[in-house]
Chains A and B, each alone.
Chain A
């Protein structure tokens, strides 16, 4: 059993909700990313989602897009990111790590991704492949690496069933129509869709996109097995990229974790 499944099973057994935090590898630089990952864990984060920068990140809002651009200026690519995960594992061998990115970069490094469990990666989330497919459809199949599928408010009943049955690790429920960092959460819709997903699958369902405040976090955690927070963290990283003083991010994450307890 990989770290991700172990962690989620454990949280469910103690009736806690998972806090997943996202950052873009190499923004503002790889050393800061490593420091931030450790800070995340210290501040109550259960699972880390590492963004793999891409030139054309079509699912991202302006905050995360700009982080991708900055990382690309630092020449960050998958080989550096795998090295980053290895460095992180020297200190922390239990926090699950998910790589999140776009098919073109992943399929360009198929062999690297296929063996990435040996370097400490637990799951891969490819934003631009249809949910009923997984990375194995693209020649990357390793039972130790979960392929996280997305379900959105517009996913049809028929496809919810297919995706839910096909997913591994957890189902990522996209809470709104829009790119990362948008607003306007529709709680009733979220609740009813997550119920549908659970009727087809036993794997946990986590909710992400549009979570900014402790209140958002608390509300969504009532209906899901955990929450995923990205843009608001990346925004804080951006604002502190000169000083490299990320203490406020620690406070912010502790607030979120307390809100979902």
Chain B
């Protein structure tokens, strides 16, 4: 079957049976307004020019595709290439999306910006673009994550944004999203909500994917230039799934490229203590969209467990659920310990310290398919750098500063 990726989502915001708009009525008009604005702007030359100029001069794109010689020798299963999203301004892929969405906010005349954040990278990326335009900015973050990611909390504050610690529910990313949605319902007239992943109600999963798919489009050109063909596999970590979706999307109709998403296995998928809905969840509705979800036997959302705050989320972007069901992408899980080991391995072998989220993608290099050999070209999407995780890793290693 040939997939026409342009056809998804459909006009109601669905990827197959996933996606949609499941929000309180008050937000429907805001979603329609956003959809209208985006459909008018996305093909306008002025908008594209402004977006690509910001990606180049403010973010520092294109990010390199870098040959990881020592990792290649270490794993002996194929040539390993790293897409260096960690080199972006603010240290992760998240800035690609916020640069785009802040332009939408500007065109819509919104004066107030809100966002949720898990690891803090999206919070930093949002506070950064809001600061640049002088817009009031509020970041919602689970109280638990405020503790684990204190460095990013301070960065957000330095950028002039307000951080709201959310202690309802499990006090992590999903609760931050709940609170951001409540803020939006209340201040819907003057507020733009920059969602940080390919999650939430339509049109967000589409918009975030589109802005971040600059990653995948660069990969097409870089692959041709560096090894003369399309890659055999792209590996990316999946929490909500925006870095993976940005890398995967331009390859959906390129069947020679295997798309491998790596979820957070926490203490191991079989223990039930993880954040891997595509591996061990079922379809449900959370935060405005239908998608795979970690839920119990009565439809309540389950607690998640992951060493990485950015992957610690019970849901996943609807397009990933669709790609899983149609068999176009494969989704695996890596547990906390494997990710921590990979964090150290990559840091020592390549001099690149990956974010703990990204370390999950690297850890999969230990499980590469048997039919991969030295002629195989494998791309790992290095979604972010690990500076923010130093406190977490040190604590696990028993080190006190």
Interface residues of A (CB under 8 A from B): 54-62, 65-66, 69, 72, 77-79, 102-105, 107-109, 127-131, 149-156, 159, 174, 177-179, 182
In the complex, the chain A residue whose C-beta lies closest to that of B22 is A128
Q: Give min CB distance, B288 to chain A, whole Å.
A: 7
Give B388 Cβ to nearest chain A Cβ, in Å. Answer: 26
Q: With A107-B285, A131-B28, A177-B26 in contact, do A77 and B300 touch (Cβ < 8 Å)? A: yes
Compute how far the CA of A256 lies from the CA of B25 in the bound complex, rounded to whole angstroms: 27
Q: Is B189 at the interface (CB under 8 A from chain A)?
A: yes
Say yes or no: is B272 at the interface (Cβ < 8 Å to chain A): no
In the complex, the answer to whether B284 meets A108 with C-beta atoms within 8 Å is: yes
| Smallest CB-CB A-B distances: 7 pairs | A108-B299, A77-B298, A178-B186, A152-B26, A154-B29, A150-B25, A59-B24
A130 to B30, CA, bound (A): 13
Provide the residues of chain B in CB contact with A55, threshold 8 Å: 169, 300-301
Contacts A103-B22, A128-B24, A154-B30 hold; do A177 and B285 have CB atoms under 8 A apart?
Answer: no
Flag if B168 contacts A129 (CB, 8 Å): no
Residues 230-284 of B contacting A (Cβ, < 8 Å): 284
- Which residues does chain B contribute within 8 Å of A178, judged by CB atoms? 26, 185-186
Please determine whether B168 and A177 come into contact, CB atoms closer than 8 angstroms. no
In the docked arrangement, what's the CA distance between A72 and B285, Å? 18
Cα A208 to Cα B23 in complex, Å, equals 18
Q: Are B300 and A179 in contact (CB under 8 A)?
A: no
Complex Cα distance, B338 from A71, in Å, reads 38
The reply to whether A128 and B288 contact each other, CB–CB distance below 8 Å, is yes
Decide if A179 touches B32 in the complex (CB within 8 Å). no
Assess whether A69 is in contact with B186, with CB atoms less than 8 Å apart. no
Complex alpha-carbon distance, A102 and B27, angstroms: 15
B: contact size bracket: 20 to 34
- For B168, give the chain A residue with the smallest CB separation: A65
Residues of B within 8 A of A128 (CB): 22-24, 285, 288
Q: Are B299 and A56 in contact (CB under 8 A)?
A: no
Q: How far is the CA of A79 from the CA of B300 in the complex (A)?
A: 13
Cβ of B377 < 8 Å from any Cβ of A?
no
23 CB contacts below 8 A, A to B, read A54-B300, A55-B301, A56-B178, A56-B286, A58-B23, A58-B287, A59-B24, A59-B185, A65-B168, A69-B168, A72-B300, A77-B300, A79-B298, A103-B285, A105-B300, A128-B22, A128-B23, A128-B288, A130-B25, A155-B29, A174-B24, A177-B185, A177-B186
Query: Could you tell me if A153 and B26 are in contact, using CB atoms closer than 8 angstroms?
Result: yes
Chain B: interface secondary structure? mixed
Give the interface of B toward A (CB within 8 A).
21-30, 32, 168-169, 174-175, 178, 181-182, 185-189, 284-288, 293, 295, 298-301
Docked CA distance A153–B25 (Å): 9
Residues from chain A with Cβ under 8 Å of B22 in the complex: 103, 128-130
Residues of B within 8 A of A65 (CB): 168
A167 → chain B closest CB, angstroms: 12
- Contact indicator A58/B168 (Cβ below 8 Å): no
A128–B189 Cα distance when bound, in Å, is 20
Contact yes or no, A127 B178, CB < 8 A = no
User: Are A127 and B24 neighbours in the complex by a CB distance under 8 Å?
Assistant: yes
Q: Is the CB of A104 within 8 A of B295?
A: yes
Complex Cα spacing A105 to B285, Å: 9
Return the contact of A109 from the options B174, B187, B299 (Cβ within 8 A).
B299
Report how far A97 CA is from B189 CA in the complex, Å. Answer: 34
> Within the assembled complex, what's the spacing in Å between the Cα atoms of A187 and B169?
34
Chain B nearest CB from A156 CB (Å) reads 6
B299 touches A154 (CB 8 A): no
CA distance A59 to B287 in the complex (A): 11
Q: How far, in angstroms, from A72 to B366 measured CA to CA in the complex? A: 41
- Kindly report which residue of chain B lies nearest to residue A57, judged by CB atoms: B178
Which of B23, B28, B30, B301 has the most C-beta atoms of chain A within 10 angstroms of its own C-beta? B28
A56-B295 contact given A128-B23, A177-B189, CB 8 Å threshold: no
Would B174 and A156 count as touching, CB distance under 8 A? no
A156 partner residues in chain B, CB cutoff 8 A: 29, 32
A162 to B287, CA, bound (A): 24
Cα A58 to Cα B22 in complex, Å, equals: 11
Taken together as a complex, chains A and B put the C-alpha atoms of A103 and B187 apart, in Å, by 24
Q: Kindly list chain B residues whose C-beta atoms are within 8 Å of the C-beta of A155.
A: 25, 28-29
* Chain A residue nearest to B181 in the complex (CB): A58
